[in-house]
Amino acid sequence: MVADHYPAPRGAPLPLMTIRRAMARPGDETRVRPAVGAPGRKESIMTPEQAKWQAENLARRARQSRMIADRLETWRHCPRKPCRRSSACLGPDPVACARHLVWDVLDETERAILQHGMQLRAGGASAEDALREAQRRVAAVSDGP
């Protein structure tokens, strides 16, 4: 007979789920959920309203990330053919596409210009003014005092 559970070695720390159960107060409405990645994780401590809000929030953030990726034209450097064909980010993770552009495609100077330009645009500057000012700031830093 083979046991499907092996005890932890003597002196090993308690599993996270055991600690959570020990800390739960009697009568708490929240259920103890297994640690992330634990086998058999089925319980959720979110209410239906919270789960709905989270799903909507994740969808909204994905739309925003995709819009930013499209504005930065990350599809030009994307390794996925469908993105290049449609001239838009179609990948499953638009944040990863933007990260690929910023860290793998752009050099240090271009990253600095992008960062300054985005800060200026967030401050209300037009695209042309933000680009011109970002290039000026980066050139002033690289030229030195």
Share of the chain above pLDDT 90, in %: 12
Q: For position 43, what pLDDT does the model report?
A: 57
Q: For position 101, what pLDDT does the model report?
A: 78
Whether residue 1 is predicted with pLDDT greater than 50 in this model: the reply is no
Q: What are the residue ranges spanned by the domains of the chain?
A: 48-105, 107-145
Q: For position 56, what pLDDT does the model report?
A: 93
Name the residue among 54, 49, 47, 52 with its Cα closest to residue 30. 47
Highest mean pLDDT among 63-67, 77-81, 108-112: 108-112
Tens-digit pLDDT profile for residues 86-126: 998 888 887 787 788 778 888 899 889 988 988 998 899 89
Give the residue-averaged pLDDT of 122-145: 87
Tens-digit pLDDT profile for residues 21-32: 555 555 554 554
Q: Specify the length of the chain in residues.
A: 145
State the sign of the Cα–Cα–Cα–Cα dihedral 86, 88, 94, 100.
Answer: positive
Q: For position 135, what pLDDT does the model report?
A: 93
